[in-house]
Amino acid sequence: MKKIVYLFIFFVSNLSFSQLILEEINLPKIINETSGLEYHDDHLITFNDSGNDPVLFYLNLKGEIVKTRNIQNIKNNDWEDIAMDDEYLYVADMGNNYDTRKNLSIIKIPKNQNSDSFEVINFSYPEQKSFNYRKLSMFDAEGLISIDDYLLIFTKNRAKKTTDIYKLPKTSGTYNAIKIGSLDTESIITGADFDKNNNLLALTSTISFNEYYLLIIENFSIEKYDYNIKMHEIPVGKTQVEGIKIIDSSTYWLSSEHENKGNPKLYKIKI
């Protein structure tokens, strides 16, 4: 019998307003729907979500595109986040705005930019029994991290303003994702990153899509049972923050989609 460990996690409302934008960079409009952010070989990696081309954009720290990597023979249904380990990038094709999708997957791509190969990790949520249209979705997800031998998914639960955490292996195949716990975030998760050196989890979130927050959880692991979540307002106004990359415990890269016909943005923020 497989042992399933459930996390019973409590939210401590500790809202901070003292954040500082160190840099605000206009990104090229070709990545208007930037969603997800990773850092490899001195470049930030991002992509567009929801029906755009299956292309990874490699950016320098000025926000300029230095390389595009077209992933052949795969579809971008709704790419939402990206994670990384020593060998691979993991792109989460798991946007599920109305709980209707049955083709959720993680695309496993070699970090070597000269490689055209990829593998697919298909998954479903065993708790989801209905795929009828639901405006207040419970099985949408925009947060993915790599931790040890697993991928963790953080759902975007509009109905409860919580996030459920699901675990997947990193090998290709078709799986039922295993629910290992929940976070009472009091907001809707839009992105995730994990720093394994400091066991630091960072999540971006929103309540009403008019303001965004950075949630910090220290000493995160898949075996711990309670956390203190520190909540920081991101002082960027009305936008759509969907990408995050940890620089260090107090500094973060964030990316946001274009708003009101403006440019998408790259932010460097200090808390």
Which residues 6+ apart lie within 8 Å of 17 measured at CB? Answer: 232, 233, 235
Confirm whether 2 is domain-assigned. no
Confirm whether 264 is domain-assigned. yes
Confirm whether 186 is domain-assigned. yes
Cβ count near 261 (within 10 Å): 7
CATH number, domain containing residue 42: 2.115.10.20
Sequential pLDDT tens for the chain (271 residues):
333 444 444 444 566 666 899 999 999 999 999 999 999 999 999 999 998 999 999 999 999 999 999 999 999 999 999 999 999 999 999 999 999 999 999 999 999 998 889 999 999 999 999 999 999 999 999 999 999 999 999 999 999 999 999 999 999 999 999 999 999 999 999 999 999 999 999 999 999 888 999 999 999 998 876 789 999 999 988 889 999 999 999 999 999 999 877 899 999 999 9
The candidate with the shortest Cα–Cα distance to 36, out of 27, 24, 48, 28, is 48
Which residues 6+ apart lie within 8 Å of 164 measured at CB? Answer: 154, 155, 157, 179, 181, 182
147's tokens: 């931790």
DSSP 178-246: EEEEEE--SSEEEEEEEETTTTEEEEEEESSSSSEEEEEESS--TT-----EEEEEE-S-S-EEEEEEE
**What is the domain count for the chain?**
1
168's tokens: 């997947």
pTM: 0.93
Which residues 6+ apart lie within 8 Å of 41 measured at CB? Answer: none
Confirm whether 21 is domain-assigned. yes
Confirm whether 1 is domain-assigned. no
Residue range of the domain that includes 87: 7-270
